[in-house]
Amino acid sequence: MALAVAVRASGHHSVVTVAGELDCATAPCLRGFLFGEIEESQRDLVVDLRRLDFLDAAGLNVLVNARLSLALSGRELTVLCHDPKILRLFVITGLHETLNVNALSESGAPSRGLRDREE
């Protein structure tokens, strides 16, 4: 499956919606898109993964590098996610806090916190 990426401005944030599969084949596409947005905008970045079907280490690497790049200019990265398999990957790697991962239901309402899920 391919990767679809869209961006919209929302107040002080750029919201990047990612759909499909984020793996070693599609990570370069997202990397280019995110870093283009980081360079062109002075907004914080929200990456919405609620339409993502698959995430692997290459995708995590893109998100970590985007967060580092944003931090250098005093900006923040937030990740929105609801898929238990993908959330588990963030928790297992310890990136749920570093990447400010927010677990949301499909409707966008907050669900149980990631710390609750770890127990």
Domains of the chain with CATH codes: 3-118 (3.30.750.24)
Q: Which of 15-24, 49-58, 75-84, 109-118 has the lowest mean pLDDT?
A: 109-118
DSSP-assigned states of every residue in 13-33: EEEEEEEEEESTTTHHHHHHH
**Residue 104 confidence (pLDDT):** 72
**Residue 34 confidence (pLDDT):** 97
- What is the C-alpha separation between 76 and 64, in angstroms, rounded? 11
Residue 95's identity, in one-letter code, is L
For residue 84, which of 66, 100, 96 has the smallest C-alpha distance?
A: 96
pTM of the model: 0.87
**Residue 116 confidence (pLDDT):** 42
Q: In residues, how long is the chain?
A: 119
pLDDT reading at 17 higher than 50 = yes
* Beta carbons of 33 and 56 less than 8 angstroms apart: no
For residue 66, which of 7, 11, 118 has the smallest C-alpha distance?
A: 7
Q: 93: which residues sit within 8 A by CB, 6+ positions away?
A: 60
Strand partners, 104: 110
